[in-house]
Structure 1
Amino acid sequence: MRVTRNSRARSRLLTGVVTLGLALGGTAAAPAHARPKAAAAAAECSAAYRIEQKLSTGTTWRMCWHYDSHAGLVLEHVSYRPPGESRPIKVLNSARLAQIDVPYDDGSVEYSDLTGAGFAQGLSAMAPGECPGGTIKTIKVPDASDPRHPNVPGLCTTTRSRGHAYRLQSDTGNNVYQAQGKDLLVYTVNKVGWYEYITEWRFQDDGTLAMNVGATGSLSPFDYDAGDGRGWPIGKGARGYATSHSHNVFWRLDFGLDGSSKNRVEQYDSEVSPPARGAQAPSNRTTRTQVTKELTGDAKNMRWWRVVSDTGRNKDGHARSYEIVPGATTKYPGHDFTRHDFYITEYNTCEQFASDNLGNCGAQAGKSVDTWVNGQTLTHPVVWVNVGFHHIARDEDQQPMPVHWQGFSIAPRDVTAMNPLTPPALAGQNGHVQPGS
């Protein structure tokens, strides 16, 4: 519910991928996986394209950014330095949106917002009040129809409190340890037809990275033409059925844990069995499966995945990793590329968008992520995450439409030997906790 009938055929003129915010000297940098392992974000980009924030709890996040002519904001060389670590810990080579697929329930139309509807060119200028306490950076928006590349104040970086990071009362009751968490937020707003997408990246001081897209704006006044079962009546009486539709949002994550792209992927499944004779409760066994080849995966009760560093270990000697934490989703079964929650593929520079893939890549042009899962051995895994939302409009969606969010997060698992925000008084309690502490 976003564009007029006359504008639905727009914007497949932009076929090249143009990126801004290039490396020092104004030339394109080498692919992230080919750069020196120990390079920090500060060495990878000029100051204008660097984001660095030390949060009040002591954690520092660093990254570079550029703006792609289809994907919009792209983050690169993302590193995390919690208190107590001597140097930044590399997390991601790059992170970006990979598609927003929008099919309508009446079958009349389907959009690829990133590669076919001008998502990047719809970057919106933000007023200072939209970035409270932060800084709005100016972006040169690549637009084939305007070679001057208009400057848009459209990238907000700010910090925000999120509530308790932890709370612990000692056994004696004499001490209460608590801290309020702090996040770095990086976001843009992109207008596509009647919709406006808030693309938010949230970097927490505990090392968690949350990725969300919030849809807001307006229901399209040109799409009040569905019937019962394909839409919902908006306005007085049972008239004006706003057409229902899906938002299938994809992200593409290229991990570079500890500066190396040679990561491995593991899947964990737990199974509960009835109580054994004499036991007080059912038993639960967790098994690990090494994912050695490209994977199509689906979230399941008591199933999860992690991406594991081949080179980095924490101070306890445990391999550093990041766990993929799915968000609420409604999978759209209409296509093979929207039918699954995760796709893990071997790195290929031509594979950039989850559907209607662009670029001068021959056979890869126009393809979708499901076609790239073909059994290849994983040495440099790329993770594609699909989070869906079926939007059946309601009276409260007008006017304007409240933001509805969809997304997921990645959480550190053994990146540090203890909680990175551990207070000094508890720093010695690594492993078995002493009673009475």
Structure 2
Amino acid sequence: MKLSARWGMLLGMLLIGASLLSTNSQQAANAQTRDRCSGGSFTINKTLENGASWALCWEERSSEGIVLRGIRYTPPGGSAISIINQINLAQIHVPYDDNTARFHDLSDYGLGGGHLNNMTAADCPDGTLLQNNGRNVLCATVVPTGYAYKYYAQVKQGSALVVRSVSHIGAYNYVSQWIFHDDATIEPGIGATGKLQKCTNVAKYGWKIDASSCQYGTSHVHNYYWRIDFALGGNSNNVVEQIEFDSSGTAQRGLQVRPYTTETAAQVNPENFRSWRVKNSTVLNSDGHEISYDIVGNSDHVFRGPSFEPWTKNDVYVTENNPCERWASRNDGNTCADDVSGFVNNQTLVDPIVWYGMTFHHLPRDEDDPLMSAHWSSFQMVPRDLYASQQR
């Protein structure tokens, strides 16, 4: 059966209960990370073809899998600037359309430890495999990205640093990937591949596959959540703003910018072109503009779950930094709420954390059997006024 491995894992969880790191253990892990960041084996420094470079530190955690920290960008011929203190996946929530399973993959199982693949050269063509505890857990490679720009005869090709790991949970393989472009754009993403996890004999809950052990592949949702601790221009004076345009359906549309001063939850709104940016309110580029990053989503799917899944009511959460607020759902810690919706409790934002959620609804097809094609979900963090002109 295609679902046996994962259901066996779920049964094990029911028998022994979830065992997550306490806040004190997490603080100890953070201290260990700082030590690792001072050594070469857990750092990545890469200069791209246009002369821009990226520097970052990484670590493996049992639940989050690979966590990236201390991300800095240096433009061609310029000085390094701090971008992100820490970024990691904060949940993969997988509810099936027939309601026979509603997985919380990170907090229930984890992406690290025994679930993190020992990668081979085939996983990392033309790249470098990085080890932890004698296992190849991370691939770093540089790839071409096509046009950086073109204006008639003025042409520049781009490149990017790609960092990826692979974790297996049940029949699924999750490819966690971060793309660091030469123009300072960062693109976190995740690919889901492997084999179909679950089958049904009820037509309205799937798509006819007619494989030997699977009449219908059960349709389901992947809700991905990232936790982003920005340190743009340094760890202080980072502010989150909501940007949108009013007057939908009229000839003129006006820009509206709303700064978040207290903890906030918000939904995507394609009709109003809603997006978010993180700025440093005191660090300016040479034009006198506040440096910032836009957060731009790429998903056409939206999931609003039942009342017992309140975190699905919004897509973006901005909360004050709190070490025990780790997971978008099934959060651990006696002093913190059970999910990210409960983290929003009107605290003033001094050190804001951005929780960014995306949805992919997977309706299986014949091409997903016996081996499932990779389907990707990603978003971009795009520099806005990070520099006064194009850094090429």
TM-score by length of 1: 0.81
The offset of 1:390, in angstroms, is: 1.2
Alignment deviations for residues 133-172 of structure 1 (CA, whole Å, 9 cap, x no partner):
11001123xxxxxxxxxx3212000000010000012xxx
- 3-state SS, counterpart of residue 415 of structure 1: coil
What letter is aligned with 2:353? Answer: V
- Tell me if the contact between 2:276 and 2:294 (Cα under 8 Å) persists in the aligned partners: yes
1:269 aligned onto 2:269: no
Aligned to 1:351: 325
Spell out the pairing of 1:229-268 with structure 2 (5 A cutoff).
229-235=204-210, 240-268=215-243
1:181 aligned onto 2:152: no
389, 402, 405: which one aligns with 2:376:
405
Aligned to 2:257: 288
Aligned residues: 379
- 3-state SS, counterpart of residue 304 of structure 2: coil
- Tell me if the contact between 1:20 and 1:66 (Cα under 8 Å) persists in the aligned partners: no
Runs of 4+ aligned residues of structure 1 deviating over 4 Å after TM superposition are: 17-23, 272-275
88, 100, 103: which one aligns with 1:108:
100
1:93 aligned onto 2:58: no
The offset of 1:115, in angstroms, is: 1.0
Alignment deviations for residues 255-285 of structure 1 (CA, whole Å, 9 cap, x no partner):
001112331111122134788xxxxxx3221
Aligned to 2:71: 78
Q: Which structure has the larger Rg?
A: 1
- Tell me if the contact between 1:246 and 1:389 (Cα under 8 Å) persists in the aligned partners: yes
Alignment deviations for residues 77-101 of structure 1 (CA, whole Å, 9 cap, x no partner):
101011132x211000000000001
Q: C-alpha separation between the residues in 2 aligned to 1:303 and 1:342?
A: 11
1:137 aligned onto 2:120: no
What letter is aligned with 1:204? Answer: H
Q: C-alpha separation between the residues in 2 aligned to 1:137 and 1:28?
A: 16
Aligned to 1:205: 182
Question: RMSD of the alignment, in Å?
Answer: 2.4
312, 315, 334: which one aligns with 1:341:
315
- 3-state SS, counterpart of residue 203 of structure 2: coil
Could you list the runs of 5+ residues in structure 1 that have no partner in the other structure? 31-42, 141-150, 170-175, 276-281, 422-437
- Tell me if the contact between 2:324 and 2:335 (Cα under 8 Å) persists in the aligned partners: no
- Tell me if the contact between 1:19 and 1:66 (Cα under 8 Å) persists in the aligned partners: no
Aligned to 1:163: 146
Alignment deviations for residues 369-410 of structure 1 (CA, whole Å, 9 cap, x no partner):
010112211111110011111111111111211100012110
The offset of 1:28, in angstroms, is: 5.5
Change (3 A) 1:66 1:28: closer
The offset of 1:287, in angstroms, is: 1.8
TM-score by length of 2: 0.90
- Tell me if the contact between 2:65 and 2:110 (Cα under 8 Å) persists in the aligned partners: no
Q: Which moved more, 1:111-120 or 1:66-75?
A: 111-120
The offset of 1:8, in angstroms, is: 2.1
Change (3 A) 1:212 1:28: closer
- Tell me if the contact between 1:255 and 1:261 (Cα under 8 Å) persists in the aligned partners: no
Q: C-alpha separation between the residues in 2 aligned to 1:159 and 1:371?
A: 40
- Tell me if the contact between 1:347 and 1:380 (Cα under 8 Å) persists in the aligned partners: yes
Change (3 A) 1:27 1:94: closer
- 3-state SS, counterpart of residue 8 of structure 1: helix
Alignment deviations for residues 234-270 of structure 1 (CA, whole Å, 9 cap, x no partner):
1269x71222211111000000011123311111221
Q: C-alpha separation between the residues in 2 aligned to 1:101 and 1:255?
A: 24
| More helix by percentage | 2
Aligned to 2:42: 49
Aligned to 1:153: 136
The offset of 1:188, in angstroms, is: 0.1
Q: C-alpha separation between the residues in 1 aligned to 2:37 and 2:8?
A: 44
1:120 aligned onto 2:112: yes
Alignment deviations for residues 327-381 of structure 1 (CA, whole Å, 9 cap, x no partner):
21422211211222101111111111111113xx32326x100101122111111
Q: C-alpha separation between the residues in 1 aligned to 2:151 and 2:238?
A: 35
What letter is aligned with 1:73? Answer: I
Change (3 A) 1:4 1:317: closer
Q: C-alpha separation between the residues in 2 aligned to 1:50 and 1:117?
A: 27
Q: C-alpha separation between the residues in 1 aligned to 2:7 and 2:211?
A: 24
- Tell me if the contact between 1:50 and 1:65 (Cα under 8 Å) persists in the aligned partners: yes
- Tell me if the contact between 1:91 and 1:256 (Cα under 8 Å) persists in the aligned partners: yes
Alignment deviations for residues 291-343 of structure 1 (CA, whole Å, 9 cap, x no partner):
11111111212222111113321111111000000121422211211222101
